[in-house]
Structure 1
Amino acid sequence: METSLATKPRGGVSGTLRFRYLGPDEIEVLSGLWRALHAHHTEIAPHLEDLITSVDADESWRRRRSRYLDWLADPDTLAVLAERDGEEVGYAMVTLREDRKGSWERGERVAVVQTLSVLPEARGTGVGSGLLEEIRRQLGAMGVHDMELAAITTNSDAIRFYEREGFRPFVTTLVSRIGAGPHD
Protein backbone atom coordinates (compact mmCIF):
# COMPACT_ATOMS: atom_id res chain seq x y z
CA MET A 1 0.00 0.00 0.00
CA GLU A 2 1.21 3.51 -0.78
CA THR A 3 -0.07 6.92 0.30
CA SER A 4 1.15 10.47 -0.30
CA LEU A 5 1.32 13.66 1.72
CA ALA A 6 2.14 17.02 0.15
CA THR A 7 4.51 18.82 2.48
CA LYS A 8 5.05 22.52 2.91
CA PRO A 9 8.57 23.71 2.18
CA ARG A 10 10.73 23.61 5.31
CA GLY A 11 14.38 24.43 5.41
CA GLY A 12 14.44 24.80 1.64
CA VAL A 13 12.99 21.32 1.07
CA SER A 14 9.70 20.74 -0.67
CA GLY A 15 8.07 17.86 -2.38
CA THR A 16 5.63 15.12 -1.78
CA LEU A 17 6.32 12.51 0.83
CA ARG A 18 5.23 9.07 -0.23
CA PHE A 19 4.63 6.36 2.31
CA ARG A 20 5.04 2.74 1.41
CA TYR A 21 4.13 -0.14 3.71
CA LEU A 22 6.80 -2.82 3.74
CA GLY A 23 6.56 -6.56 4.17
CA PRO A 24 9.29 -8.88 5.46
CA ASP A 25 10.67 -9.40 1.95
CA GLU A 26 11.45 -5.67 1.64
CA ILE A 27 13.15 -5.14 5.01
CA GLU A 28 16.66 -4.66 3.56
CA VAL A 29 15.63 -1.22 2.25
CA LEU A 30 15.76 -0.05 5.90
CA SER A 31 19.40 -0.98 6.43
CA GLY A 32 20.92 2.43 5.63
CA LEU A 33 18.26 4.28 7.58
CA TRP A 34 18.83 2.06 10.62
CA ARG A 35 22.60 2.57 10.37
CA ALA A 36 22.08 6.36 10.37
CA LEU A 37 19.97 6.06 13.52
CA HIS A 38 22.55 3.76 15.15
CA ALA A 39 25.28 6.33 14.46
CA HIS A 40 23.11 9.10 15.91
CA HIS A 41 22.31 7.11 19.06
CA THR A 42 25.99 6.25 19.55
CA GLU A 43 26.87 9.95 19.26
CA ILE A 44 24.23 11.29 21.67
CA ALA A 45 24.56 8.68 24.43
CA PRO A 46 28.18 8.83 25.67
CA HIS A 47 26.83 8.76 29.24
CA LEU A 48 25.87 5.11 28.68
CA GLU A 49 29.26 3.83 27.49
CA ASP A 50 30.05 2.21 30.84
CA LEU A 51 26.63 0.52 30.95
CA ILE A 52 25.86 -0.48 27.41
CA THR A 53 28.42 -2.16 25.24
CA SER A 54 27.93 -0.71 21.79
CA VAL A 55 28.03 -2.94 18.74
CA ASP A 56 29.14 -1.87 15.31
CA ALA A 57 26.63 -0.85 12.67
CA ASP A 58 26.71 -4.21 10.87
CA GLU A 59 25.97 -6.19 14.02
CA SER A 60 23.37 -3.67 15.13
CA TRP A 61 21.54 -4.01 11.79
CA ARG A 62 21.76 -7.81 11.93
CA ARG A 63 20.08 -7.79 15.35
CA ARG A 64 17.49 -5.17 14.45
CA ARG A 65 16.69 -6.90 11.14
CA SER A 66 15.99 -10.13 13.03
CA ARG A 67 13.69 -8.32 15.43
CA TYR A 68 11.88 -6.59 12.56
CA LEU A 69 11.26 -9.92 10.87
CA ASP A 70 9.84 -11.32 14.11
CA TRP A 71 7.55 -8.31 14.52
CA LEU A 72 6.42 -8.43 10.90
CA ALA A 73 5.13 -11.97 11.45
CA ASP A 74 2.21 -10.17 13.12
CA PRO A 75 -0.06 -8.74 10.42
CA ASP A 76 -0.87 -5.70 12.61
CA THR A 77 2.77 -4.53 12.67
CA LEU A 78 3.35 -1.44 10.55
CA ALA A 79 6.61 -0.87 8.68
CA VAL A 80 6.22 2.48 6.92
CA LEU A 81 8.90 3.85 4.59
CA ALA A 82 8.93 7.58 3.77
CA GLU A 83 10.27 8.57 0.35
CA ARG A 84 10.79 12.00 -1.17
CA ASP A 85 11.73 12.33 -4.84
CA GLY A 86 12.33 8.58 -5.01
CA GLU A 87 14.82 8.60 -2.11
CA GLU A 88 14.28 6.85 1.23
CA VAL A 89 14.33 9.56 3.91
CA GLY A 90 12.85 7.84 6.96
CA TYR A 91 10.76 5.04 8.35
CA ALA A 92 8.72 3.90 11.30
CA MET A 93 8.28 0.42 12.74
CA VAL A 94 5.18 0.13 14.92
CA THR A 95 3.98 -2.90 16.86
CA LEU A 96 0.80 -3.43 18.84
CA ARG A 97 0.58 -4.89 22.31
CA GLU A 98 -2.38 -5.85 24.45
CA ASP A 99 -3.11 -3.37 27.23
CA ARG A 100 -2.18 -4.90 30.56
CA LYS A 101 -5.17 -3.32 32.30
CA GLY A 102 -2.94 -1.40 34.64
CA SER A 103 -3.63 1.81 36.47
CA TRP A 104 -4.85 3.64 33.35
CA GLU A 105 -7.42 2.85 30.69
CA ARG A 106 -5.59 2.88 27.39
CA GLY A 107 -7.81 0.74 25.19
CA GLU A 108 -7.47 -2.94 24.34
CA ARG A 109 -4.32 -2.44 22.29
CA VAL A 110 -1.54 0.11 22.52
CA ALA A 111 0.74 1.00 19.61
CA VAL A 112 4.47 1.05 20.29
CA VAL A 113 6.68 3.02 17.93
CA GLN A 114 9.69 0.74 18.05
CA THR A 115 11.72 2.85 15.62
CA LEU A 116 11.32 6.27 14.04
CA SER A 117 14.32 7.08 11.88
CA VAL A 118 14.83 10.16 9.72
CA LEU A 119 18.05 10.77 7.83
CA PRO A 120 20.07 13.64 9.34
CA GLU A 121 19.74 15.78 6.22
CA ALA A 122 15.94 15.27 6.19
CA ARG A 123 15.32 16.22 9.84
CA GLY A 124 13.19 19.32 10.19
CA THR A 125 11.64 18.87 6.73
CA GLY A 126 8.35 17.24 7.76
CA VAL A 127 9.40 13.60 7.40
CA GLY A 128 8.98 12.70 11.09
CA SER A 129 5.69 14.57 11.36
CA GLY A 130 4.48 12.96 8.15
CA LEU A 131 5.35 9.49 9.38
CA LEU A 132 3.54 10.08 12.68
CA GLU A 133 0.50 11.46 10.83
CA GLU A 134 0.43 8.41 8.56
CA ILE A 135 0.80 6.04 11.53
CA ARG A 136 -1.97 7.81 13.46
CA ARG A 137 -4.27 7.57 10.45
CA GLN A 138 -3.63 3.87 10.09
CA LEU A 139 -3.86 3.10 13.82
CA GLY A 140 -7.09 5.08 14.14
CA ALA A 141 -8.60 2.95 11.39
CA MET A 142 -7.55 -0.12 13.41
CA GLY A 143 -9.32 1.19 16.53
CA VAL A 144 -6.11 1.89 18.46
CA HIS A 145 -6.28 4.93 20.78
CA ASP A 146 -2.84 5.23 22.37
CA MET A 147 0.68 5.27 21.00
CA GLU A 148 3.95 5.27 22.93
CA LEU A 149 7.63 5.46 22.13
CA ALA A 150 10.99 5.65 23.87
CA ALA A 151 13.68 8.29 23.39
CA ILE A 152 17.23 8.43 24.69
CA THR A 153 17.26 10.93 27.56
CA THR A 154 20.03 13.04 26.02
CA ASN A 155 18.23 13.31 22.66
CA SER A 156 16.65 16.65 23.57
CA ASP A 157 15.87 17.56 19.94
CA ALA A 158 13.87 14.36 19.49
CA ILE A 159 12.09 14.79 22.83
CA ARG A 160 11.07 18.36 21.92
CA PHE A 161 9.85 17.09 18.52
CA TYR A 162 7.78 14.32 20.13
CA GLU A 163 6.27 16.75 22.63
CA ARG A 164 5.28 19.08 19.74
CA GLU A 165 3.66 16.01 18.19
CA GLY A 166 1.52 15.47 21.30
CA PHE A 167 3.59 12.94 23.26
CA ARG A 168 4.05 13.46 27.00
CA PRO A 169 6.52 11.88 29.43
CA PHE A 170 4.99 8.80 31.04
CA VAL A 171 7.63 6.41 32.39
CA THR A 172 11.32 6.96 33.02
CA THR A 173 13.53 3.91 32.54
CA LEU A 174 16.84 3.82 34.38
CA VAL A 175 19.60 1.29 33.68
CA SER A 176 22.27 -0.23 35.92
CA ARG A 177 24.79 -3.03 35.66
CA ILE A 178 24.08 -5.95 37.99
CA GLY A 179 26.37 -5.70 40.99
CA ALA A 180 26.82 -1.97 40.60
CA GLY A 181 26.09 -0.06 43.74
CA PRO A 182 25.79 3.63 44.45
CA HIS A 183 29.56 3.97 44.89
CA ASP A 184 30.78 1.81 42.00
Structure 2
Amino acid sequence: MVAIRPAVAADYELICQLFSLLDSFHARLLPHIFQETDCHVRPYHYIAGLIEQPDAILFLAEAGDTAVGLIHVSIDEAADLPFFRSRRYAVVHHVIVQKEWRGQGIGQRLMAQAHEWAVDRGATSVELSVWTANQEAMTFYEELGYAPVLVRLVRPLP
Protein backbone atom coordinates (compact mmCIF):
# COMPACT_ATOMS: atom_id res chain seq x y z
CA MET A 1 0.00 0.00 0.00
CA VAL A 2 1.36 3.41 -0.96
CA ALA A 3 0.58 6.30 1.38
CA ILE A 4 0.96 9.98 0.50
CA ARG A 5 1.79 12.51 3.19
CA PRO A 6 3.36 15.95 3.55
CA ALA A 7 7.14 15.74 3.85
CA VAL A 8 8.94 16.97 6.94
CA ALA A 9 12.55 18.08 7.33
CA ALA A 10 13.40 14.71 8.90
CA ASP A 11 12.67 13.16 5.46
CA TYR A 12 15.81 14.80 4.06
CA GLU A 13 17.58 11.54 3.15
CA LEU A 14 14.50 10.09 1.43
CA ILE A 15 13.96 13.31 -0.50
CA CYS A 16 17.62 13.45 -1.57
CA GLN A 17 17.43 9.89 -2.89
CA LEU A 18 14.42 10.76 -5.04
CA PHE A 19 15.96 13.99 -6.34
CA SER A 20 19.11 12.01 -7.17
CA LEU A 21 17.00 9.75 -9.41
CA LEU A 22 15.56 12.82 -11.13
CA ASP A 23 19.02 14.33 -11.60
CA SER A 24 20.39 11.10 -13.11
CA PHE A 25 17.40 10.82 -15.43
CA HIS A 26 17.86 14.38 -16.66
CA ALA A 27 21.62 13.87 -17.12
CA ARG A 28 20.92 10.87 -19.37
CA LEU A 29 18.05 12.58 -21.21
CA LEU A 30 19.78 15.93 -21.82
CA PRO A 31 23.52 15.54 -21.15
CA HIS A 32 24.27 18.87 -22.83
CA ILE A 33 22.22 20.62 -20.11
CA PHE A 34 22.43 18.39 -17.01
CA GLN A 35 25.26 16.55 -15.32
CA GLU A 36 25.40 13.69 -12.84
CA THR A 37 25.39 14.75 -9.20
CA ASP A 38 25.73 13.06 -5.86
CA CYS A 39 22.76 12.42 -3.64
CA HIS A 40 23.31 15.46 -1.42
CA VAL A 41 23.72 18.17 -4.05
CA ARG A 42 20.73 19.88 -2.43
CA PRO A 43 21.79 20.77 1.11
CA TYR A 44 19.58 20.20 4.13
CA HIS A 45 18.72 23.91 4.48
CA TYR A 46 17.51 23.99 0.85
CA ILE A 47 15.17 21.00 1.32
CA ALA A 48 14.00 22.30 4.71
CA GLY A 49 13.30 25.65 3.04
CA LEU A 50 11.10 23.98 0.43
CA ILE A 51 9.16 22.21 3.14
CA GLU A 52 8.77 25.26 5.39
CA GLN A 53 7.57 27.71 2.72
CA PRO A 54 4.08 28.90 3.69
CA ASP A 55 2.68 28.70 0.13
CA ALA A 56 4.39 25.45 -0.90
CA ILE A 57 4.34 21.78 -0.01
CA LEU A 58 6.28 18.65 -0.79
CA PHE A 59 4.27 15.42 -0.65
CA LEU A 60 6.00 12.04 -0.29
CA ALA A 61 4.61 8.75 -1.57
CA GLU A 62 5.77 5.87 0.62
CA ALA A 63 5.48 2.11 0.48
CA GLY A 64 6.38 1.09 4.01
CA ASP A 65 9.74 2.71 4.77
CA THR A 66 10.54 3.24 1.08
CA ALA A 67 9.99 6.62 -0.55
CA VAL A 68 8.66 5.83 -4.03
CA GLY A 69 7.69 9.31 -5.20
CA LEU A 70 7.31 12.97 -4.45
CA ILE A 71 5.71 16.14 -5.75
CA HIS A 72 6.70 19.73 -4.99
CA VAL A 73 4.02 22.36 -5.59
CA SER A 74 3.67 26.02 -4.69
CA ILE A 75 1.17 28.85 -5.06
CA ASP A 76 1.94 31.91 -7.18
CA GLU A 77 0.03 34.99 -8.23
CA ALA A 78 0.15 36.78 -11.56
CA ALA A 79 0.77 40.48 -11.21
CA ASP A 80 -2.20 42.78 -11.51
CA LEU A 81 -0.92 44.67 -14.56
CA PRO A 82 -2.87 46.33 -17.37
CA PHE A 83 -1.87 43.59 -19.82
CA PHE A 84 -2.28 40.58 -17.46
CA ARG A 85 -5.32 39.32 -15.64
CA SER A 86 -4.56 38.81 -11.98
CA ARG A 87 -4.89 35.18 -10.95
CA ARG A 88 -3.79 32.76 -8.29
CA TYR A 89 -2.35 29.50 -9.59
CA ALA A 90 -0.27 26.52 -8.51
CA VAL A 91 3.10 25.56 -9.95
CA VAL A 92 4.24 21.93 -9.94
CA HIS A 93 8.03 22.09 -9.73
CA HIS A 94 8.93 18.40 -9.53
CA VAL A 95 7.16 15.07 -9.86
CA ILE A 96 9.25 11.97 -9.24
CA VAL A 97 8.14 8.34 -9.17
CA GLN A 98 10.73 5.58 -8.96
CA LYS A 99 10.83 3.72 -12.26
CA GLU A 100 9.92 0.34 -10.75
CA TRP A 101 6.81 1.90 -9.15
CA ARG A 102 5.47 3.58 -12.29
CA GLY A 103 2.23 2.42 -13.88
CA GLN A 104 0.56 1.91 -10.49
CA GLY A 105 -1.21 5.28 -10.30
CA ILE A 106 1.26 6.89 -7.88
CA GLY A 107 1.97 9.84 -10.16
CA GLN A 108 -1.75 10.37 -10.68
CA ARG A 109 -2.34 10.27 -6.92
CA LEU A 110 0.48 12.76 -6.30
CA MET A 111 -0.96 15.11 -8.92
CA ALA A 112 -4.47 14.73 -7.45
CA GLN A 113 -3.09 15.55 -4.01
CA ALA A 114 -1.38 18.65 -5.44
CA HIS A 115 -4.59 19.70 -7.22
CA GLU A 116 -6.62 19.33 -4.02
CA TRP A 117 -4.01 21.26 -2.02
CA ALA A 118 -4.01 24.05 -4.65
CA VAL A 119 -7.82 24.33 -4.75
CA ASP A 120 -7.87 24.60 -0.94
CA ARG A 121 -5.56 27.62 -1.29
CA GLY A 122 -7.67 29.38 -3.91
CA ALA A 123 -5.73 28.42 -7.03
CA THR A 124 -7.72 28.39 -10.26
CA SER A 125 -5.21 26.47 -12.39
CA VAL A 126 -1.96 24.50 -12.25
CA GLU A 127 1.13 25.14 -14.36
CA LEU A 128 4.24 23.07 -14.88
CA SER A 129 7.21 22.78 -17.21
CA VAL A 130 8.40 19.62 -18.91
CA TRP A 131 11.36 18.97 -21.19
CA THR A 132 10.11 18.09 -24.68
CA ALA A 133 12.59 15.19 -24.78
CA ASN A 134 10.71 13.63 -21.86
CA GLN A 135 7.89 12.10 -23.90
CA GLU A 136 6.76 9.84 -21.05
CA ALA A 137 6.12 12.90 -18.86
CA MET A 138 4.51 14.81 -21.73
CA THR A 139 2.04 11.95 -22.27
CA PHE A 140 1.40 11.62 -18.52
CA TYR A 141 0.50 15.30 -18.15
CA GLU A 142 -1.60 15.38 -21.33
CA GLU A 143 -3.60 12.41 -20.02
CA LEU A 144 -4.29 14.48 -16.89
CA GLY A 145 -5.69 17.32 -19.00
CA TYR A 146 -2.61 19.53 -19.30
CA ALA A 147 -2.01 21.32 -22.60
CA PRO A 148 0.91 23.40 -23.91
CA VAL A 149 0.51 27.16 -23.55
CA LEU A 150 4.07 28.37 -24.20
CA VAL A 151 6.91 26.80 -26.16
CA ARG A 152 10.48 27.85 -25.38
CA LEU A 153 12.82 27.59 -28.36
CA VAL A 154 16.60 27.22 -28.09
CA ARG A 155 19.28 27.76 -30.71
CA PRO A 156 22.90 26.81 -29.99
CA LEU A 157 25.50 29.39 -30.95
CA PRO A 158 28.87 28.65 -32.54
Classify the TM-score, shorter chain: 0.7 to 0.9
Normalising to structure 2: TM-score of the pair?
A: 0.85
**Are 2:79 and 1:100 equivalent residues in the alignment?**
yes
- The correspondence for 1:55, drawn from 35, 50, 53, is 35
Aligned partners of 1:148 and 1:25: how far apart in 2? 28
Per-residue deviation, 1:25: 3.9
The C-alpha deviation readout for 1:92-133, integer Å capped at 9, x for no partner, is 0112222224656472x2211111001011111111001001
**Are 2:3 and 1:24 equivalent residues in the alignment?**
no
Give the aligned residue type for 2:68: V
Unaligned 5+ runs, structure 2:
none
Normalising to structure 1: TM-score of the pair?
A: 0.74
Q: CA RMSD in A?
A: 2.4
Give the aligned residue type for 1:116: V
Aligned partners of 2:58 and 2:22: how far apart in 1? 16
Number of aligned residues: 157
Give the direction of change, closer, same or farther, for the CA distance of 1:112–1:32 in structure 2 (3 Å limit): same
Q: Higher Cα Rg: structure 1 or 2?
A: 1
Determine if contact 1:17/1:130 at 8 Å carries over to the other structure: no
**Are 2:25 and 1:40 equivalent residues in the alignment?**
yes
Unaligned 5+ runs, structure 1:
1-15
Aligned partners of 1:40 and 1:106: how far apart in 2? 36
Using CA pairs below 8 Å that are at least 6 residues apart, which structure has the higher relative contact order? Answer: 1
